[in-house]
Amino acid sequence: MRVKPSAGATATCAALALCAVGCGGEKKEGDRKVETGPKPAASPEQFTERFAQLTGVRLSRSLDDLVGTRLEVPAEPNRFARLGTYSLVWTRDRADRREVLRGARRPGARGIRWTRSGSTWSAGKSYGRHLVLDWSAGSKRRTNPQFNRLERAVRAAYLGRPGLLPPRERPCRRDPLRDRGEACSLRGVPVTVARGNSALETPAFEATVRKTEVRPALKPKLLPPETASGRFVIVDYRLRTKTLIRSLTPQLRIGKRTFEEAPASVFLARSRLFPLPPAAAYNARVAFDVPRAQAAQVRRRGALVLPAEIDELGDPSAELAQGWIALDR
């Protein structure tokens, strides 16, 4: 017999998962209960686990060197669009921490120590007695939104306090499609969900879904049918632009899986070509080739995924933030 978990059990599991980032509690001293809050990371392993919970980036330990343990950023996912280029070192003691920061200027605003190598600036910052962050600022001695996001995440992970992050950067406690709350972060990427007939509002556009279909094949005019390997999920959506949009790459989310647009989408109607000027209306139908089992769940667990934040080039980027339009309509 299969037992469906209760809502309370689901919430409990989510809360336990977040305890990997940091949970408080209480202890007894005699007849008194003393509240205990989260404590700073005591080891590189504890810090990397917390950091992965907040950012989706699983740092790996390199071979220990003379100053401690270097924590390497993986090739994927590295969240470069959100965090930039950086390195982290877990030093053995304060003397090693000073060695890592040697050559850096005295700490200024926000405790940042600036270092210049040739034409490149780096921003360094220490956390406690062991952890040192080094972020590449490029040719200009200034921070930017990438550094701000990274610094918040490193600080929250080190202290074990995800509540220090803005709400949209805190880990989702459950599937965003099931959560009726505000925006949250899924593996380090903020997600906002539009439901029912609500429009998805982003800095670049307003979007709505008009219709969702499931078909075994597409039948373009004057050409042989295009048959799906599973089923084609076809989403008809509309945009109203707020700024110039050079390109847009929609995705389909069903449960925990994400699907890219199928090549067969070229046979579906679009109202105009990119780039889209500001204040333009754009109607499009996109197809996704998904397994039959997932296609059967699309109206219950599906969402059209669109990029929801503008990158430094002025284009919408799903690496910075995502907007999900629920298909349960």
Rounded to 5 degrees, φ, ψ at 161 are -130, 80
Angle value at C-alpha 289, between 269 and 173, nearest 5 degrees = 110
- 82 and 205 part of one domain: no
127-156 average pLDDT score? 96
The domain boundary residue, chosen from 130, 165, 200: 165
Same domain, 74 and 151: yes
Q: 21 or 184: which carries more pLDDT confidence? A: 184
**234 shares a domain with 138:** no
**Mean pLDDT confidence for 29-53:** 81
Identify the pLDDT of residue 302.
96
Q: List CB contacts of 170: < 8 A, sequence separation 6 or more.
A: 162, 163, 184, 185
- CATH number of residue 247's parent domain: 2.60.40.1240
Identify the pLDDT of residue 21: 60
Residue 206 lies in a domain: yes
Q: Are residues 155 and 250 in the same domain?
A: no
**Residues 188 and 158 occupy one common structural domain:** no
Question: Does 7 map to a domain?
Answer: no
* pLDDT higher than 70, residue 23: no
For residues 273 and 217, membership in a common domain is answered with yes
* Across 34-48, 109-123, 165-179, 252-266, least confident range: 34-48
Task: Taking residues 157-170, report their average pLDDT.
Answer: 97
Residue 24 lies in a domain: no
Q: Provide the domain count of the chain.
A: 2
Q: Where are the alpha helices (DSSP H) in the chain?
A: 7-18, 44-55, 80-83, 94-100, 145-159, 292-295, 298-301
Dist CA 238 CA 181 (whole Å): 25
Asked whether residue 22 is domain-assigned, the answer is no
Regarding whether 275 and 154 lie in a shared domain, the answer is no
**Average confidence score pLDDT of the chain:** 88
Is 80 exceeded by the pLDDT of residue 95?
no
Quick one: pLDDT at residue 180? 65
Mean of pLDDT values over 12-29: 50
pTM: 0.84
Q: Is residue 273 part of a domain?
A: yes
Q: Which amino acid is at 178?
A: R
Structure tokens at 308: 């929801």
Domain end call among 165, 194, 209: 165
On whether both 203 and 313 belong to a single domain, the answer is yes
pLDDT higher than threshold 70 for residue 161: yes
Task: Tell whether 160 and 210 lie within a shared domain.
Answer: no
| Whether residues 108 and 228 fall in one domain | no
Lowest mean pLDDT among 102-111, 139-148, 280-289, 301-310: 102-111
Domain check: are 135 and 72 in the same one?
Answer: yes
pLDDT at residue 236, as a whole number: 97
Q: What is the pLDDT of residue 1?
A: 35
**Residue 211 located in a structural domain:** yes
What pLDDT was estimated at residue 202?
A: 94
Helix or strand or coil: residue 152? helix
Q: Which domain holds residue 218?
A: 184-326
CB neighbours of 271 closer than 8 A, spacing ≥ 6?
281, 282, 283, 284
Query: Which among 165, 194, 213 is the end of a domain?
Result: 165
| pLDDT over 70, % of the chain | 86
Question: Is position 170 within any domain?
Answer: no
What order do you get walking across the sheet with 68-72 strand by strand?
60-61, 68-72, 86-91, 131-138, 120-127, 113-117
Calculate mean pLDDT across residues 283-306. 97
Q: Are residues 212 and 293 in the same domain?
A: yes
Q: Count the Cβ atoms, other than its own, within 10 Å of residue 291.
A: 14
pLDDT tier, 262 (very low <50, low <70, confident <90, very high otherwise): very high
Whether residue 145 is contained in a domain is answered as yes
316 versus 23: which is more confidently predicted? Answer: 316
Tell me which residue of 223, 225, 239 sits closest to 285, measured CA to CA: 239
Given a cut of 60, whether residue 20 has pLDDT beyond it is no
